[in-house]
Chain A
């Protein structure tokens, strides 16, 4: 008897404010063509009123709960995945729980960047299988726009990221068949500084200083060694996707749909080609939302569920690669 957990509901929320590549070209030396060619991204959302990831997260979570036919009272654990927490500490999950009017439940942050959603899925699935509860709410929430250098100096990173929140409810499989078959988590910490945000940094003498705002590459902004990340991403993605299939005695020919992290369309195209997947089998929506890190997979999944690309009986793989480096995959029977 399979003891599986499935995604029972998905929801998302985006700021209304659309920022096109042309809009960015007015703020920095770049162009629509330059951004589109390298990343596939055409537009993203940036907040234009003070708003935290938990404000978007509240809307996303309520939609996910409604889709699952549940209320916040049914939730036994809240996981908030983010790299742009509403505040330094406590965990943004605490604020999320308060905004949702949650009863006194366990709530924590998972800080695994672009892999945060898949890491959260794996953790939630394990926690449920240990019999600690029946439903977990996972919210991926990011407000990147307030932490980016949106000048020419910061353009390599600044053009990529967007604000969003997306949530899922994980709970008992409705038929015992649908649900997570297995998940696979990886990291390679020696590349931590290839894609990172240094401050605040507890390992320094002072965690944040005036000087951190200065210089050619101010350390209050994220840094990315773009080509380096690209190279590792196109290796690790196919590896972990194949690993998830092999663990279930399946191969790429059995895969129905891939819902990858939405960092860069060119990465996802290389991955699809490497695996021999048809374009229609890979969900991409970063063209419209940019990279929304921990929110990207549920945001893409919701779209694939609404337009019918994710359908019953398929094998669906959710996979991610990003800062850490971390990478991960979860294979579902849908």
Chain B
């Protein structure tokens, strides 16, 4: 019998002041209504120097306090990001230093928008089963992104600069203790769609130079996308994986307390929810509130709203994004 995995504590960070659509349009040099175009209310951009590990360190404070654990109690750090602090080593190492955690494992994962679900899946597996009479050893799971430093803040970059954003979430989880229960985490990949949403450079397969000035001149170091080409796929995969976790956990999507659906284009999440017959007032779309924070969007929303659920109520979380990668999780409030 596998032990129940519980989320013992949580926190999030949306850094600095919100960047409004009007302010961003000014920075991008475009005269357009970005709010109407993207369905995004506002977003947060972090200050230089913070990095994903810095945002995660802020989110870790309330998460560890809620779980009642100190840095020296942690058995491992797991970090999922698409935009690491540096090329290598991973952001988990930088977070370890910031938290002054002991020399436990620091695992760095890359799964883009499915990062939160994938990291939950892996961290749940890595939780040690406590021996009789001992306390469970918690794992700190961080998801964080800093896209703002790598965006093309010019009219030609507006499509993604207006949608991708910064933020972090932390959950402390263990095979025991108190807190919401993880009932399911499922996620998948279809690499045939990789070049529809990606950053082309650096590219280690480029003979002679992994990155050079020509890459910069051509803007290959900025994210690029063909969002219209992905809409149908994204909607279909979100519906598919939501139905899968719903069936697996016998969670009725139409009556679940909260269904969180994250996608870079909020209207795709809206369409998926509509097709699944989920009432508007129970659907939350993180990207619509604070931009697409890829690996961290679901975790931020979880940390913002899990306290609003009563014992036994369920939160279903799904996301999709570059890779193409998608996933969903079901969490039951305690």
In the complex, B187 has a CB within 8 A of chain A: yes
Q: What 0/1 readout, one digit per residue, does chain A (270-309) give for beta carbons within 8 Å of chain B? A: 0000000000000000000000000000000000000000
In the complex, B189 has a CB within 8 A of chain A: yes
* Other-chain contact of B149, A119, A130, A189, A203 (Cβ < 8 Å): A203
* Other-chain contact of A90, B101, B112, B125, B146 (Cβ < 8 Å): B112
Closest to A99 in B: B191
* Other-chain contact of A203, B54, B76, B205 (Cβ < 8 Å): B54
**Minimum distance in angstroms from A154 CB to a CB of chain B:** 13
* Other-chain contact of A207, B149, B189, B210 (Cβ < 8 Å): B149
* Other-chain contact of B121, A104, A109, A127 (Cβ < 8 Å): A127
**Minimum distance in angstroms from A328 CB to a CB of chain B:** 7
Contact: B125 with A95, CB < 8 Å? no
Which residues on B sit within 8 Å (CB–CB) of A203? 48-54, 85-86, 146, 149
Main secondary structure of the interface of B (DSSP, over half): mixed
Which residues on A sit within 8 Å (CB–CB) of B194? 90, 94-95, 98
Which residues on A sit within 8 Å (CB–CB) of B205? 47, 50-53, 55, 86, 143, 146
Closest to B115 in A: A108
Closest to B76 in A: A185
**Minimum distance in angstroms from B126 CB to a CB of chain A:** 5
Contact: B110 with A204, CB < 8 Å? no
Total interface residues in chain A, CB < 8 Å: 80
In the complex, A123 has a CB within 8 A of chain B: yes
Q: How far is the CA of A90 from the CA of B51 in the complex (A)?
A: 19
Contact: A202 with B88, CB < 8 Å? no
Contact: A87 with B48, CB < 8 Å? no
Q: How far is the CA of A144 from the CA of B205 in the complex (A)?
A: 9
In the complex, A40 has a CB within 8 A of chain B: no
Which residues on A sit within 8 Å (CB–CB) of B323? 90-91, 94, 107
Which residues on B sit within 8 Å (CB–CB) of A189? 89, 92-98, 101, 106
* Other-chain contact of B191, A52, A94, A185 (Cβ < 8 Å): A94
In the complex, B82 has a CB within 8 A of chain A: yes
Residue of A52, A55, A188, A192 ringed by the most chain B CB atoms within 10 A = A192
Closest to A184 in B: B105
Closest to B146 in A: A202
Which residues on A sit within 8 Å (CB–CB) of B327? 106
Q: How far is the CA of A237 from the CA of B82 in the complex (A)?
A: 30
Q: How far is the CA of A55 from the CA of B207 in the complex (A)?
A: 14
Q: Report if A131-B2 is in contact (Cβ < 8 Å); known contacts: A119-B105, A203-B49.
A: yes
In the complex, A126 has a CB within 8 A of chain B: yes
In the complex, B150 has a CB within 8 A of chain A: yes
Which residues on A sit within 8 Å (CB–CB) of B204? 52-53, 84-87, 143-144, 146-147
Contact: A324 with B104, CB < 8 Å? no
Contact: B94 with A192, CB < 8 Å? yes
* Other-chain contact of B206, A50, A186, A326 (Cβ < 8 Å): A50
Q: How far is the CA of A130 from the CA of B184 in the complex (A)?
A: 12
In the complex, A105 has a CB within 8 A of chain B: yes
In the complex, B108 has a CB within 8 A of chain A: yes
Total interface residues in chain B, CB < 8 Å: 80
Which residues on A sit within 8 Å (CB–CB) of B121? 106, 127, 132
In chain B between 162 and 201, which residues have their CB closer than 8 angstroms to a CB of chain A? 187-192, 194, 197-201
Q: How far is the CA of A87 from the CA of B198 in the complex (A)?
A: 9
Q: How far is the CA of A210 from the CA of B213 in the complex (A)?
A: 7
Q: What 0/1 readout, one digit per residue, does chain B (120-155) give for beta carbons within 8 Å of chain A? A: 011011100000000000000000011101100000
Contact: B125 with A91, CB < 8 Å? no
In the complex, A111 has a CB within 8 A of chain B: yes
* Other-chain contact of B126, A90, A97, A123, A326 (Cβ < 8 Å): A123
Contact: A123 with B125, CB < 8 Å? yes
Contact: B110 with A111, CB < 8 Å? yes
In the complex, B21 has a CB within 8 A of chain A: no
Contact: A50 with B97, CB < 8 Å? no
Contact: B209 with A146, CB < 8 Å? yes
In chain A between 179 and 223, which residues have their CB closer than 8 angstroms to a CB of chain B? 185-190, 192, 195-210, 213, 220, 222
Q: Report if A49-B207 is in contact (Cβ < 8 Å); known contacts: A88-B202, A94-B191.
A: yes
Contact: B107 with A90, CB < 8 Å? no
Contact: B93 with A213, CB < 8 Å? no
Closest to B199 in A: A88
Which residues on B sit within 8 Å (CB–CB) of A84? 204, 210
Q: How far is the CA of A47 from the CA of B90 in the complex (A)?
A: 26
In the complex, A83 has a CB within 8 A of chain B: yes
Q: Report if A186-B150 is in contact (Cβ < 8 Å); known contacts: A90-B323, A112-B90, A220-B211.
A: no
Contact: A187 with B93, CB < 8 Å? yes
Closest to B327 in A: A106
* Other-chain contact of B150, A55, A93, A110, A200 (Cβ < 8 Å): A200
* Other-chain contact of A185, B94, B105, B112, B150 (Cβ < 8 Å): B105
**Minimum distance in angstroms from A118 CB to a CB of chain B:** 10
Q: How far is the CA of A144 from the CA of B87 in the complex (A)?
A: 13
Q: How far is the CA of A155 from the CA of B223 in the complex (A)?
A: 32
Q: How far is the CA of A196 from the CA of B244 in the complex (A)?
A: 41
**Minimum distance in angstroms from A198 CB to a CB of chain B:** 5
* Other-chain contact of A187, B105, B192, B322 (Cβ < 8 Å): B105
Q: What 0/1 readout, one digit per residue, does chain A (62-98) give for beta carbons within 8 Å of chain B? A: 0000000000000000100001111111110111111
What 6 A-B pairs are tightest by C-beta distance, nearest first?
A: A203-B51, A185-B105, A98-B191, A52-B205, A189-B93, A187-B106
In the complex, 7 of the A-B residue pairs with CB atoms within 8 angstroms, ordered by the A residue number, are A52-B205, A84-B210, A98-B190, A107-B323, A111-B89, A202-B84, A202-B147
B positions within 8 Å CB-CB of A: 2, 48-54, 76-77, 82-90, 92-98, 101, 103-112, 118, 121-122, 124-126, 145-147, 149-150, 187-192, 194, 197-213, 216, 221, 223, 322-325, 327
